[in-house]
Structure 1
């Protein structure tokens, strides 16, 4: 078995979306803007991991996707909230 290599592109995309969500909060953007960022992040998450997801059976894919997207949305929501709080609206 070969060693797993980290997917730095996916990690960078996740970090970029967290930074965008934080910046949206810091700028006082409307909540729908944060939702739009989250939807885009979910689409990119799926696209960058489609090969790994395709190798999983359906139940594993569904569980992994649900957990990963829940964590992603929590992180993005937290970044947005921290941005709002630092702006003085939190």
Structure 2
């Protein structure tokens, strides 16, 4: 008899866990997506990081110039996007 009772308890526990997971998944889908940088901002940051990496690589990864690499990469990427804006405006 105790074996049967134990089996029923574990089935009940599994159903309860399953229902809890379903409820939390439903609650998560009703919530708006987390706020954060837009896709464009995330893509721009990735481009800056890659440009900074290549700048560091070009100078042999000598320590102490990381901020300079990053700032120069940001300027480079910003200039690139500014050059692209007039071309995009001409298409409209």
Normalization by structure 1: what TM-score?
0.39
Normalization by structure 2: what TM-score?
0.39
Larger RCO: 1 or 2 (CA < 8 Å, sep 6+): 1
